[in-house]
Amino acid sequence: MNDHHCFVHKHRDTDWHFGDGNIKFKGISSGAWGSYIHYFERQDFSFDSEGCIIFMQQEATDDYIDYLIQAGQIGTNLLELFNKFGFMDSVNSLDGCAHFHSSMLYTFRNTGNGFNGNSLADPWDAIRKFGIIPWTALPFDQNTTQADCLAKNPQNLLDMGQQFLAAVGGKNWVNYHYVNDGGPTNTQAMDIARQQAPLCLGVLAEAPGWNQYEPPIVQGPPCHGVMNYDKNDIGELILDHYVPFEKVLQTGYPMQYVLQAIINIVPPPPAPLPPASSFPADPTTVQVNQWQVWLTALAAWLNNIKTTIMNGIKGRHG
């Protein structure tokens, strides 16, 4: 890699922090997310996109949604929508199977920062406001130019992003908090938090030592963003956007900034049920039971929307 500086920290007093109770902790894994990594994204081809923070968000989002799909937590209707839009990509996946794959370039454009870098929160704020679209609808690959990166998203793609947003329950489908906001490295807190979701790290990545599986420990302010998906005896396992894509940051490597985003998909309920007369035997009981299910789904969706309206678009207000 080149010694770029695409990490820009923005301190905000209103940002949430891990353990403050604003996002309920619910451990859903052992803290190992490697089995949900299905794409290696590269941030430099003929030029460097300076988009490491956006790639990190894209990878964490795709991994989390792949987990939800594998865990059976994505309903049939929503999964059909993912397929219809083109999110389920088998052509570019590492195993040749269809997995969720979103567009980094769409979010890159929506942050409005161009090649000037981003804070860890910027892409999450953008996908709360603009949603996401499939990688196949707007890929970042060897054919992408600098002009492509600086272009505006056309209305049809923005409309697709809003359709996605409506399907997953509105802006509140993502919330985030800092696990470390500029303090000393805290791997104990990282280990606990990672049971809930992958982690987004702001780290120093100096050339030429960075481009190896085990980069040497360096000290200094962060300039790069990577996703932390697990750990081993050496240190923290990360997914990077420079070859080699999978690296390990040794114990002692400074990780002053760690952000975690939590995805909570609450799709709108289906249309109300037909009258009881259209049901077979014992229609009243069947209808009452199904209406109870529908009303429960409606209440969850309305609560998600209400929280979004009351708290605004920023993930820290989730």
Q: Give a yes or no: residue 109 inside a domain.
A: yes
Q: Which stretch of 30-34, 237-241, 307-311 has the lowest confidence by average pLDDT?
A: 307-311
pLDDT of residue 239: 98
Looking at the predicted structure, is the pLDDT value of residue 310 above 80? no
Q: Give a yes or no: residue 72 inside a domain.
A: yes
Structural domain total, the chain: 1
Looking at the predicted structure, is the pLDDT value of residue 208 above 70? yes
Q: Give a yes or no: residue 143 inside a domain.
A: yes
pLDDT of residue 314: 45
Q: Give a yes or no: residue 74 inside a domain.
A: yes
Distance from C-alpha of 317 to C-alpha of 129, rounded to nearest angstrom: 13
Q: How confident is the model at residue 171 (pLDDT cuts 50, 70, 90)?
A: very high
CA distances from 123 to 24, 129, 174, 236, 259 (A): 22, 10, 11, 23, 12
Looking at the predicted structure, is the pLDDT value of residue 308 above 60? no
Q: Give a yes or no: residue 76 inside a domain.
A: yes
**Cβ neighbours of residue 139 under 8 Å, at least 6 residues apart?**
103, 105
Distance from C-alpha of 151 to C-alpha of 205, rounded to nearest angstrom: 28
CA distances from 217 to 168, 170, 201, 209 (A): 41, 41, 15, 9
Looking at the predicted structure, is the pLDDT value of residue 262 above 80? yes
Q: How many CA atoms lie within 13 A of 135 on its CB side?
A: 23
Looking at the predicted structure, is the pLDDT value of residue 312 above 90? no
Q: Give a yes or no: residue 205 inside a domain.
A: yes
Distance from C-alpha of 311 to C-alpha of 318, rounded to nearest angstrom: 6
Percent of the chain with pLDDT over 70: 83
pLDDT of residue 269: 75
With 0.75 as the threshold, say if the pTM is over it: yes
* CATH code for position 83: 3.90.70.10
Per-residue pLDDT, averaged over 73-98, amounts to 96
Tokens of 190: 């990282």
Collapsing DSSP to helix, strand or coil, 181 comes out as: strand
Q: Give a yes or no: residue 29 inside a domain.
A: no
> What is the domain range of residue 165?
34-263
Q: Give a yes or no: residue 313 inside a domain.
A: no
- Of the candidates 282, 269, 275, 264, the one whose C-alpha atom is nearest the C-alpha of residue 128 is 264
Could you please report the per-residue DSSP string of 196-250?
TS-EEEEE---TTTTSSSSPPP--S---EEEEEEEE-SSEEEEE-SSSSSEEEEE
Phi/psi of residue 152, nearest 5 degrees: -85, 145
